[in-house]
Amino acid sequence: MTDNEQTAGGPLGRIAGKLKEAAGSAVGNDELATDSVDTAELIADSISTIKIKDGAITNAKLGADSVTGAKVQNGSLTAPDVAGSAPGGPLSGQLTIDPGSIAGGACSVQTISLSGVQAGDHVILNGVSAATGGYSVEALTGTTNNLRVQFCNTDAMTPVDPPSADYAYLAIHP
């Protein structure tokens, strides 16, 4: 189409014709070779989250420190997210502990064999069901391949026998 041609619709028709002509010469996705467009060739803000396929950006494609705590939605992480699955990473799970009878005013430390716990691990421990009372439960720092849990009788005189119970744990390496 030349500038002197008569088109239906006058000047607007001529503009529409030019747009169609330009669109016909555009390069489509099927005409691009893999990896033929790099970041340097992209216009700023030309790619939005809508244009990125879910799951297309893997951990290997993220730069160091590209995701910070400020970029993680509050309340979105669970214990397995924090624990991860990498060897040597934090541990999470559930176990059953039967501490046995504890004398009045005394404490008893239970050592539970748990592969992967490291000396000095910070441990979070939660009872899965409500405690019966008369005693307190506290996680202690880990030792190599052992989780340590302290049960204390809160009554100075009367022995207490806490029942066998399930506890959820999260052990984080310092």
pLDDT tens digit sequence for 41-92: 777 877 877 878 888 888 788 888 788 878 888 888 776 676 655 566 678 8
β-pair type (91-97, 135-139): unpaired
Lookup: tokens for 87: 């060897």
In terms of pLDDT, which residue wins out, 119 or 48?
Answer: 119
Q: How far apart are CA 173 and CA 142, in angstroms?
A: 9
What whole-number distance in Å separates Cα of residue 12 and Cα of residue 146? 79
Rounded distance, CA 111 to CA 43, Å? Answer: 59
Share of the chain above pLDDT 70, in %: 79
Q: Is the pLDDT of residue 5 over 60?
A: no
- Delimit the CATH 2.60.40 region(s) of the chain: 80-172
Mean pLDDT of 2-20: 64
Average pLDDT over residues 91-115: 93
What is 80-172's CATH number?
2.60.40
